[in-house]
Amino acid sequence: MARPSSPNRGKGEEATAVNRREQILEAAVAVFAEHGYYRATTAQVAEQVGISQPYVFKIFKNKEELFVAALGRAFDRIVRAFEGLETAGDQVLREAIQVYEQLMETHPNEIILQVQALGIRDEAIRGAMQDGMRKVTGLVEGKFTAAGLDHPEVLVSTFMANGMLCNIAMSLEMPELKPKHLEQE
């Protein structure tokens, strides 16, 4: 009784394992962001995709692996976004902020996921979080250095601190917490 709703589907949306994986990940991001890792259930993820709950476990070994994959996806997007930075001089800083602000608007759930991962006491999840943070920090430092900025380490640290405060402001729904700079927009 596979795919009862589409006995002859369009060629663009074959139900391959690969795009099921993507669908599940997308649903997982939304469900985890809404309810948190522990309260979110695999049944909710399955429901959002329109598959049965056990099928989730055919694609992902367990819930932890699903979360780690969803988190990895979120970090991949950030990395891809920052990889686009090419501007030289201190204009790169403004551009980096803009890129991140764009990301927060288009993929808020992936930001929420990160904030959640900060506090989850689970080896695999913490490991994924450490990896992600290291990648982002390293990448941004490379871009700041390439742009010829002085004290890139300090600037990256400040950038990360303000980025994190943005994430937190969003997660807590406290817009007043968002970073305030001297240069007003």
Return the one option of a copy of itself, DNA, none that residue 16 interacts with (CB less than 5 to 8 A, by type): DNA
Q: How many helices (H) and strands (E) does the chain have?
A: 8, 0
- 125, two tokens: 């999840």
Q: Distance of CA 39 to CAs 47, 58, 104, Å?
A: 15, 21, 23
- Report the nearest approach of DNA to the CB of residue 48 (Å): 12
By CB under 7 A, the count of residues binding DNA is: 25
Could you tell me the smallest distance in angstroms from the CB atom of residue 7 to a copy of itself? Answer: 39
Please give the angle made by the CA atoms of 7, 49 and 72, to the nearest 5 degrees: 130
Among 160, 100, 122, 132, CA closest to 36 = 122
Contact set with a copy of itself (CB under 8 A): 34-39, 112, 115-122, 126, 129-130, 133-134, 137, 151, 153-154, 157-158, 160-162, 164-165, 168, 171-174, 177, 179-182
Contact set with DNA (CB under 7 A): 1-3, 7-8, 15-17, 20, 39-43, 50-55, 57-58, 62-64
